[in-house]
Amino acid sequence: MLVTIIVLLLTIIVIPVLSFYYGMPLNELQTAILANMSIAVSIVIAYCFIVGEISRNNSQVDKLWSIVPIYYVWHMTVMGGFCPRMILMSALVTFWGLRLTYNFARRGAYQWKFWAGEEDYR
């Protein structure tokens, strides 16, 4: 258990901090994308936490994990100026996310009451 905690802390905190301070410096566009995406991720985390605590159904993240990456990649594509490689990546992520969302929805995951629904079957 201690080894798992150390590896987790290393990968979540130490490596990104070292990369930020000792890697290549970010340009203005990369800094803007990082700031915008940090806000978007924070909103998703707060939503999942708050709704999960209120409803006592912590599977809220299961409903978003196939939808939110579609937003992330298209947001970066728009901010990056619609580079052809980014458009291709965004299209592939969109296709994959829609497929996952459809399969998850077939099993009754999405309800009008957002706090209801099934947990991811995997």
* Residue-averaged pLDDT of the chain: 85
CB 77 within 8 A of CB 86: yes
Residue 117 has pLDDT above 60, yes or no: no
Q: Is the pTM of this model over 0.95?
A: no
What is the C-alpha to C-alpha distance for residues 118 and 109, in angstroms, rounded to an integer?
Answer: 5
DSSP 8-state code for residue 67: T
93 Cβ contact partners less than 8 Å away, ≥ 6 residues apart: 69, 70, 73
Q: Are 34 and 79 in contact (CB under 8 A)?
A: no
Domain ranges across the chain: 28-106
> Which among 71, 40, 61 has a CA at the least distance from the CA of 104?
61
**pLDDT per position as a tens digit, 40-90:** 999 998 988 898 888 887 777 777 888 999 999 999 999 999 999 999 999
Structure confidence by residue, pLDDT tens digits, 82-112: 999 999 999 999 999 999 888 888 877 766 6
Q: Which residue from 56, 60, 55, 70 is spatially nearest to 120, judged by alpha carbons?
A: 60
- Whether pLDDT at 37 is above 90: yes
